[in-house]
Structure formats: structure tokens, C-alpha cells
């Protein structure tokens, strides 16, 4: 009688196990929601992001780790409210399992809470808002590019120690990206003996820069200009037309390859910093540049290589989980564990906050092979978002902003 009861119990237990819901492996087409900009001041960057993403998808023949990749594109118009709506539509209506985008820092901040609530993995190909990987790290966010300030910590040091500038005026776009770029540069420039004597903030949609250019302190050694989208074109052209002679230092996006092709001699000699240059002399980058030129007739820059690398992050993570994204936590862990030994901008490793360590290059605009190029003149290898301060020390300070650090 005892043996019979045991057998019945075992059979019941087996039946229960068989009927318990099992999380099936997700191996169908992977839906990737892509947040880009197709209108407004940032549209040129959005178009370049689309080009970089498409090149990567095409290189993988539309398939990664055995999964077909289905990209669903949404235009945010560069507006935070629209970005939030589009992110919701991609996830809730279209069933996107991972997001790539958006372009601007203020857009990423607008959807930060939604990403946390829905636990949607997101890879940033451009948006560089510092606190998303610093004081308020989003566990579902990983960035494939530098933070706003990451290239400008070494650049501030370079301007003081190697260019020997003592006084600099800053002019920058008046939004988070411009604020954080300016502050990162200022922090290390002043720690190495320089002084930022003036900061001018221009709206993102500024029509002309004459009123700002005429305010520049004539006693400065150089002007540091931090612009996004096509604003660098307008500023450098007007700077030359006003007869300004002071050297110009630039953010990566001020003389980005995406707009450099539309500039003339006014861009020659501009020294900038960034985590990528189309002129980087490595076999992998040469192959990437050749592919972009063949497909789109132009050199890749900030936005195109950022989207290309976001796509490579996706591939790397999918390979780690063998294409199975049914366990979102495991997939997100894989995205945070991306380790790419060779890429267009060098080796890439991710810190515990979801931010890559990147080689930062100092570049100078020169005319080479009939085109304007950001020729690399110095490289700082494996630069952390925290520079040399260390995470604990760095995070004690306020996030970089319009007013911090203050100009002296």
C-alpha cells in the first residue's frame, strides 16, 4: 500500500511539473525599435545614424546569432515629448524588444523613467547625458559612445599643457550636451593652470552667431566651440566672416565628418577631441570608412559610427546569449558585458555603470586627399568617463551643468 501511494504521488508530481508554464526561448525575429531624428536642427545627425545602423545590419545580412533583425524606425523630431510617445509606441504597439537611440541627451533623459519602468534594454548610439551612467545609472541603459564630457577631460589638459593656452572663452549650445562638454573641458583646463574667463550659451536653433561672436573677450588665447547638428557650420563660417583671428578649439561634433564635408577653409586648423575620427589609421577603421564611402559617398562621423557600434553591441550581446532574449535580465547583463577587441574606434570595454572606456584622440582639421579630415595628432588610450579621478571621487561632485563648474 505504501509503495502504491509513493508511485501515485510521483506521478502527480511529474504531471504538475509538465503542466507548469515554461519560459520558451525567444528565437523568432528580433524587433529593434530605432529612435532617430528626421526633421529639425538635428535631422542631419539622424540621417547619419540611420546610415550607420543600416550598414551594420547589412554586414550581418539582417541576422545576428541566428535571429532575423527587424528594425522599426520612429522619428522623434528631436523633441522630448515626442521621443517619449515614440518609445511607448515602439515597445507597446510594435513589440520592440530592444531600443537603439535616441539622438540627443535631452531625449534620453525624457524616456529614462519609462525605460526603467518597462525594463526595456536600450543602447545609446549618440545621447551622451552624463548621469545616465553616473549618479543615476539606469540598469537597462548601455552606451556605445562617450559621455558628453569624456573626450574633453583629456582635451582640457591638452589645451593647457601642450597648447599652452592660459585664457579661453567658451561658446556652446544651450542644452545638456553643450553644458556637459563645456564643464568637462573647463574642469581639467583650469586644474592644469588655465582659466575659462567667459561662457556664452546659444540656443540650439540659433539662426546666426554674430551677436555672440562680437561678445568674445579679445584677451583670450583661444575659443572653445561646442555645437551639435549643423551649428558648427554656421558658427565657423560667421567666425571667419567677422575677421576673428583667435584659434578655435572644437567639440567632436563641431567639426564632425558629417558636416565637415560642407565646410571650407574656415575649418582648417580647428583642433578638437573625440572618440572617433574617420582618419584613424587602423585596418578596421579603413575598412569601415571605405564601406561608408561606397554606400553613402561620405566619411562616417559621430552619429554614423555611433549607430554602427550600437548595432555591433547588439550583435555581441546576442552572441553571448546565443540569440535567446527571453530572459531580459540575462540579455541586459550581456549588453553590460560587451567586450569588442577591434572596432572602428579601437577596443571597447564597459564599466560597471554601462559606459565604455574609449581611446580619445586629439584631431586637427587638415586638407588631405582632396577632402577636409580630422587628422589624429595624439591618442589617450582607454579613457574612463571618470578620467583620472576615480568613480567615487568623481561622483561626489554635482553633475556637469550650465552653472557648474562656474566660470572664474
Half-sphere exposure of 298 (CA within 13 A, CB side): 19
Q: What pLDDT is stored for residue 2 in this prediction?
A: 38
Q: What pLDDT is stored for residue 5 in this prediction?
A: 44
Task: Report the percentage of the chain scoring pLDDT > 90.
Answer: 88
The predicted-structure confidence for 317-336, as pLDDT tens digits, reads as follows: 999 999 999 999 999 999 99
Other residues' Cβ atoms within 10 Å of the Cβ of residue 408: 8
pLDDT band at 19 (very low <50, low <70, confident <90, very high): very low
Q: Are 196 and 169 in contact (CB under 8 A)?
A: yes
pLDDT band at 406 (very low <50, low <70, confident <90, very high): confident
Q: What pLDDT is stored for residue 6 in this prediction?
A: 40
CA-angle at 344, arms to 340 and 345, nearest 5°? 80
Edge-to-edge strand ranges of the sheet holding 98-100: 63-64, 67-75, 30-36, 98-100, 122-124, 141-143
Q: What pLDDT is stored for residue 92 in this prediction?
A: 98
The predicted-structure confidence for 275-302, as pLDDT tens digits, reads as follows: 999 999 999 999 999 999 999 999 999 9
Q: What pLDDT is stored for residue 369 in this prediction?
A: 87
Other residues' Cβ atoms within 10 Å of the Cβ of residue 2: 6
DSSP-assigned beta bridge partners for residue 340: 348
| d(C-alpha 15, C-alpha 327), whole Å | 25
The predicted-structure confidence for 353-399, as pLDDT tens digits, reads as follows: 999 999 999 999 999 988 999 999 999 999 999 999 999 999 999 99
Residue partners of 104: CB distance under 8 A and separation at least 6: 37, 42, 78, 126, 127, 175, 177, 228
Read off the C-alpha cell for 371: 577632402
pLDDT band at 229 (very low <50, low <70, confident <90, very high): confident
Over 50: is that where the pLDDT of 314 sits?
yes
Average pLDDT score over residue span 31-54? 94
Task: Report the percentage of the chain scoring pLDDT > 70.
Answer: 93
Q: What pLDDT is stored for residue 407 in this prediction?
A: 73
The predicted-structure confidence for 108-152, as pLDDT tens digits, reads as follows: 999 999 999 999 999 999 999 999 999 999 999 999 999 999 999
Q: Are 132 and 384 in contact (CB under 8 A)?
A: no
pLDDT band at 15 (very low <50, low <70, confident <90, very high): very low
What size, in residues, is the chain?
A: 408
Q: For cell 522599426, name the residue.
A: 72
The predicted-structure confidence for 81-116, as pLDDT tens digits, reads as follows: 999 999 999 999 999 999 999 999 899 999 999 999
CA-wise closest residue to 201 among 181, 229, 230: 181
Can you give the pTM of this predicted structure?
Answer: 0.90
Amino acid at each position: 500500500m505504501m509503495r502504491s501511494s509513493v508511485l501515485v504521488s510521483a506521478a502527480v508530481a511529474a504531471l504538475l511539473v509538465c503542466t507548469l508554464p515554461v519560459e520558451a526561448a525567444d528565437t523568432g525575429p528580433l524587433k529593434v525599435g530605432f529612435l532617430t531624428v528626421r526633421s529639425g536642427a538635428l535631422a542631419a545627425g539622424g540621417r547619419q545614424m540611420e546610415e550607420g545602423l543600416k550598414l551594420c545590419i547589412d554586414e550581418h545580412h539582417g541576422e545576428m546569432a541566428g535571429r532575423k533583425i527587424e528594425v522599426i524606425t520612429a522619428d522623434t523630431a528631436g523633441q522630448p515629448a515626442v521621443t517619449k510617445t515614440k518609445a511607448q509606441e515602439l515597445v507597446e504597439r510594435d513589440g520592440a524588444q530592444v531600443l537603439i537611440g535616441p539622438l540627443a541627451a535631452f531625449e534620453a533623459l525624457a524616456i529614462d523613467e519609462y525605460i526603467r519602468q518597462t525594463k526595456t534594454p536600450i543602447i545609446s548610439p549618440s545621447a551622451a547625458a552624463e548621469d545616465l551612467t553616473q549618479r543615476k545609472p539606469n540598469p537597462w541603459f548601455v552606451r556605445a559612445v562617450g559621455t558628453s564630457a569624456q573626450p574633453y577631460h583629456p582635451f582640457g589638459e591638452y589645451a593647457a599643457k601642450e597648447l599652452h593656452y592660459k585664457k579661453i572663452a567658451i561658446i556652446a549650445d544651450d542644452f545638456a550636451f553643450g553644458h556637459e562638454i563645456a564643464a568637462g573641458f573647463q574642469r581639467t583646463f583650469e586644474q592644469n593652470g588655465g582659466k575659462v574667463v567667459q561662457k556664452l550659451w546659444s540656443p540650439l536653433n540659433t539662426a546666426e552667431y554674430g551677436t555672440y561672436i562680437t561678445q568674445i573677450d579679445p584677451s583670450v588665447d583661444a575659443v572653445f566651440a561646442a555645437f551639435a547638428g549643423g551649428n558648427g557650420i554656421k558658427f565657423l563660417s560667421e567666425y571667419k566672416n567677422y575677421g576673428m583671428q583667435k584659434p578655435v578649439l572644437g567639440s567632436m561634433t563641431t567639426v564632425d565628418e558629417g558636416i565637415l564635408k560642407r565646410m571650407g577653409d574656415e575649418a582648417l586648423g580647428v583642433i578638437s577631441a573625440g572618440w572617433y575620427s574617420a582618419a584613424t589609421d587602423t585596418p578596421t577603421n579603413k575598412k569601415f570608412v571605405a564601406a561608408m564611402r561606397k554606400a553613402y559617398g561620405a566619411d562616417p562621423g559621430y552619429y554614423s559610427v555611433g549607430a554602427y557600434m550600437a548595432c555591433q553591441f547588439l550583435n555581441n550581446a546576442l552572441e553571448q546569449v546565443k540569440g535567446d532574449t527571453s530572459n531580459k535580465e540575462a540579455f541586459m547583463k550581456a549588453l553590460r558585458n560587451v567586450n569588442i577587441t577591434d572596432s572602428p574606434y579601437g577596443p571597447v570595454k564597459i564599466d560597471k555603470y554601462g559606459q565604455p572606456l574609449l581611446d580619445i584622440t586629439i584631431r586637427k582639421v587638415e586638407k588631405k586627399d582632396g577632402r577636409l579630415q580630422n587628422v589624429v595628432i595624439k591618442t589617450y588610450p582607454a579613457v574612463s568617463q571618470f578620467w583620472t579621478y576615480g568613480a567615487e571621487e568623481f561622483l561626489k561632485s554635482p553633475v556637469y551643468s550650465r552653472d557648474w563648474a562656474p566660470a572664474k
